[in-house]
A and B are shown apart, each in its own frame.
Chain A
Amino acid sequence: MTKTLFLIYFLSLFLAASEKEGLRSKHNQKLLAPVQQVLQNSSAVITNSDRVSLGYGCLITSEGHIFTKASLIEGQEGLLVRLGKKEYPAEFVESSLTWDVALLKIEITNSPPLQLTTADASPGAIVSSNGVTSLLSRRLKFGVIAANTRLIPMQEARLDLQAYYKKDQGFLITELKPEGQAISAGLQKDDLIYAIDDTPVDKSDLAFHELFKGRWPGEEVTLKIKRNDQELKFALKLLWLHQVTSSPQDRNEAMSGRTSTRRTGFPMVIQHDIPLSARTVGGPLLNLSGDCIGMNIARFSRSETYAIPAEAMVRLMEDWGIAE
């Protein structure tokens, strides 16, 4: 007991010291009070029925339509939404796999929604988001637009096997996930993959998983195999990275702590430097006027956070017939 208390004390002292003089000091947060007020009114907190926070959301209409990150609420039932200081039961309406956005609906009227704007989001612009939250208040965190707004190709399609490149031959299978899709389909250790679909892979400077960059989990691929003197064909479905492994993929990921499970494959993202966690995305990205320029969609790494632009949010609202 004493030990636990000591650790907490130590941690709070340390955080206090760095926050006092740092960029995200209390002083600077207070200066942004008008922006914080927008977060207070329109940045939702999504929880499960046990009130465990799953992520954040954006109130986009005065009738209680809320956008959140779809993969954060996948498989959850009895969703609750905290908005302002109140809590509401939420109903799931729609979702978009492309943008990883889910539409929720709560029973509320005349609540001020976010003002979506397609104003300039070029590097150097100051932006704010909901950092952490308590039952009653949202805590603002700010940063800058950090890079060019762009497409992020899907990089999470995997097969549940490991293979390494053998010069001028192709990819040699070294390991198959026990009871996985590849092993069930009949693939074996030491099988040589010489082509994927109709593309030969005997000349490659990529890692095996990089061969699937830009392709989506769920798509079918055909592996052409050499086994002894036989040539064989196997049709497999691409899986999600998180279905195959939970361990970090590279050094940067290992350094980042938990990143978003779905963090690639977006038609357009704004990149900023507000350090959010995997559970604090889904909320709005606001400019200094308090207008919403996007919705945080993924913690890509320790220093890179992605938001989908307001333009995409507007398009989804039109697609789903809720544009006001």
Chain B
Amino acid sequence: MFSSVSYGAPPLTQLYTIEDFSKLSETLTSVVPDAKAATVCIDLGDGSSGSGVIISPDGLILSAAHVTQEVGKKFEVIMEDGTRFTAVGLGLNTSTDASMARILPTIKEEEFPYVPYTTEVQLRQYVFSLGHSGGFDKERGIVLRLGRVIDLESTSMRTDCTLIGGDSGGPLFDLKGRLIGIHSRVGTITSSNTHVPIENFQKHWQKLEEGRLWGDGTFANAGLLFQGMRLLEVDKRLEVVEVRQDTNAATAGFLRGDHIIKVNNIELNSLTALVTILADAGAKGVALTDIPVHINRDGSERTLTLSLND
């Protein structure tokens, strides 16, 4: 029989009597407040917003790649009561839509409300979803929806918790209030709503925490666009995956498949390193005009000169 409050009990997958609905209601009423406290609105500052959920007292957030968009992107997170904190995007998997972010340290050391998470999920299990549907609205509060797991795979799961824009990146919970997934996308019928399972976050946890970006670009631009070429991090090497016509990169002679070894005589192995080099030059007021770029093309090394003009 259904007993949802006792921890360690199997997840609720079936109701047997009308009283079970009342118990389901009571369970929701008791677990939803803590789940809401950890659910945040991600305000991207350009009029668009998504959701996320805090999973550690120091402010680590799980969200969706199409919400946090870029490694190092700064945005504001809004707590249930309207308090705002600045956060920064960490890693993103552009194939599955998983992403991580972190609230930046504040002067007064904050302890954030957070939720536990689990990879235990069952088909037909009763679940609930939270999110800032259509953006932050303090009067309305965070929106709750009830549903069941309809479909389960390692990189995605489907429920009939009806989602809408603004919910993306928000949390899906089991009835113990444990995070089991992150909202990603919807189908045309209301019972088709897709989430990224926690298993998919756990598998790539280190990459997400280190701020890596990978995947096929389904949910966020894969890689970094730099002077007309798109760079992707592949096995700690920067690979040119696209060179656009009539750009500085094309003029310099870059080709698809080139691997970049050094930029401005500094060795690098990540997109973050490249961003740092450019930012440092900018901070020192060094005008980068003709930058030497060492590349590896089909096993042989050569140097191309990238002329930067505005």
Flag if A273 contacts B25 (CB, 8 Å).
no
> Chain B residues with Cβ under 8 A from A19's Cβ?
191
Q: Which of these, B18, B141, B146, B167, contacts A23 with CB under 8 Å? A: B146
Contact of A124 among B29, B148, B190, B191 (CB under 8 A): B29
For residue B239, give the distance in angstroms from its CB to the closest CB of chain A: 34
- Residue of A23, A146, A148, A255 near B160 (CB, 8 A) is A23
B148 touches A255 (CB 8 A): no
Interface presence of B140 (CB below 8 A)? yes
Q: Which of A252, A255, A271, A288 contacts B21 (CB 8 A)?
A: A288
Q: Within the assembled complex, what's the spacing in Å between the Cα atoms of A12 and B69?
A: 38
Check A124 against B145 for contact (C-beta < 8 Å).
no
Instruction: Give A35 to B18 CA distance when docked, in angstroms.
Output: 10
Structural contact, A23 and B147, CB atoms closer than 8 A: yes
**B28 contacts the other chain (Cβ, under 8 Å)?**
yes
Establish whether residues A275 and B190, one from each chain, have CB atoms under 8 Å apart when the complex forms. yes
CB distance from B152 to the nearest CB of A (A): 11
Query: A180 an interface residue at 8 Å Cβ cutoff?
Result: no
Q: Is the CB of A21 within 8 A of B123?
A: yes
Instruction: Give the distance to chain B from A114, nearest Cβ to Cβ, in Å.
Output: 19
**Contact indicator B18/A255 (Cβ below 8 Å):** no
Given contacts A256-B164, A273-B162, A302-B190, contact A124 B139 (CB under 8 A): no
| Cα distance, A145 to B144, chains bound together (Å) | 8
Whether B209 is near chain A, meaning CB under 8 Å from some CB there, is: no
User: Which residues B112-129 have CB closer than 8 A to chain A?
Assistant: 123-124, 126, 128
Cβ contact within 8 Å between B191 and A18:
yes
In the complex, A24 Cα to B21 Cα: how many Å? 12
> Does B265 touch A at the CB level, under 8 Å?
no
B268 at the A interface (CB under 8 A): no
| A-side contacts of B146, CB under 8 Å | 23, 126, 143-144, 273
Chain A residues lying within 8 Å of B167, measured Cβ to Cβ, are: 303
Q: Once the chains bind, are A255 and B144 in contact (CB under 8 Å)?
A: no
As a 0/1 sequence over residues 179 to 221 of chain B, the CB contacts with chain A under 8 angstroms (1 = contact) are: 0000000100111100000000000000000000000000000
Given the complex of chains A and B, what is the CA–CA distance between A141 and B121 in angstroms? Answer: 25
Indicate whether A32 sits within 8 Å of B18 (C-beta atoms), given known contacts A126-B25, A275-B162, A303-B164.
yes
Known: A18-B160, A23-B146, A144-B25. A123 touches B165 (CB 8 A): no
Majority secondary structure of chain A interface residues (helix, strand, loop or mixed):
mixed
With an 8 A cutoff between CB atoms, is A86 at the interface?
Answer: no
Residue in B20, B28, B123, B192 whose beta carbon sits within 8 Å of that of A18 in the complex: B192
Task: Choose from A27, A147, A271, A301 the contact partner of B164 (Cβ within 8 Å).
Answer: A301
The answer, yes or no, to whether B17 is at the interface (CB within 8 Å) is yes
Whether A147 pairs with B165 at a CB distance below 8 angstroms is: no
Name the residue of chain A whose CB is nearest to the CB of B188. A257
The answer to whether B144 and A147 have CB atoms under 8 Å apart is yes
Cross-chain contact B150 with A22 (CB below 8 angstroms): yes
Give complex CA distance A148, B80 in Å: 13
Find out whether the CB atom of B143 lies under 8 angstroms from the CB atom of A146: yes
Report the bound CA distance from A304 to B140 in whole Å: 11
Interface of B is mostly: loop
Chain B: which residue is nearest A143 at the CB level?
Answer: B146
Contact (Cβ within 8 A) A31 B162: no
Which residues of B sit under 8 angstroms from A125, Cβ to Cβ?
25, 29
- Smallest CB-CB separation from A276: which chain B residue? B190
Q: Is B141 within 8 A of A123, CB to CB? A: yes
Contact of A252 among B16, B140, B150, B164 (CB under 8 A): B164
CA of A144 to CA of B124 in the docked complex: distance in angstroms? Answer: 18
Interface pair B148/A21, CB less than 8 Å apart: yes
> Contact at A144–B164, with CB atoms within 8 Å?
no
Known: A18-B192, A23-B160, A275-B190. A301 touches B140 (CB 8 A): no
Is B32 positioned at the interface, with any CB of A under 8 Å from its CB?
A: yes
Interface pair B148/A252, CB less than 8 Å apart: no
Residue among A15, A34, A125 with the highest chain B CB neighbour number at 10 A: A125
Most chain-A CB neighbours within 10 Å: which of B28, B29, B165? B165
Q: How far is the CB of B17 from chain A (nearest CB, A)?
A: 7
The reply to whether B18 and A34 form a contact with Cβ atoms under 8 Å apart is yes
Q: Is A162 an interface position by the 8 A CB rule?
A: no
With an 8 A cutoff between CB atoms, is B277 at the interface?
Answer: no
B22 within 8 A of A: yes
B252 within 8 A of A: no
Closest chain A CB from B175 CB (angstroms): 11
Residues of A within 8 Å of B140, CB to CB, are: 147-148, 150, 271
5 closest A-B pairs by beta carbon, nearest first, are A124-B28, A303-B162, A275-B190, A124-B29, A273-B145
| Given A19-B191, A273-B145; 15 other pairs, CB 8 A cutoff | A18-B189, A23-B147, A123-B28, A123-B29, A124-B25, A124-B29, A126-B24, A126-B25, A144-B25, A146-B144, A148-B139, A288-B18, A301-B164, A302-B162, A303-B162
**Chain A interface residues (CB < 8 Å from chain B):** 15, 18-19, 21-24, 27-28, 31-32, 34-35, 122-126, 142-148, 150-151, 251-252, 255-256, 271, 273, 275, 288, 301-304
29 A/B residue pairs, CB under 8 Å, sorted by A: A18-B192, A19-B191, A21-B123, A21-B148, A22-B147, A22-B150, A22-B160, A22-B191, A27-B14, A31-B15, A31-B18, A123-B29, A124-B144, A125-B25, A144-B128, A146-B144, A147-B142, A147-B143, A150-B139, A252-B133, A252-B134, A252-B165, A273-B143, A273-B161, A275-B162, A288-B22, A288-B25, A302-B164, A304-B134
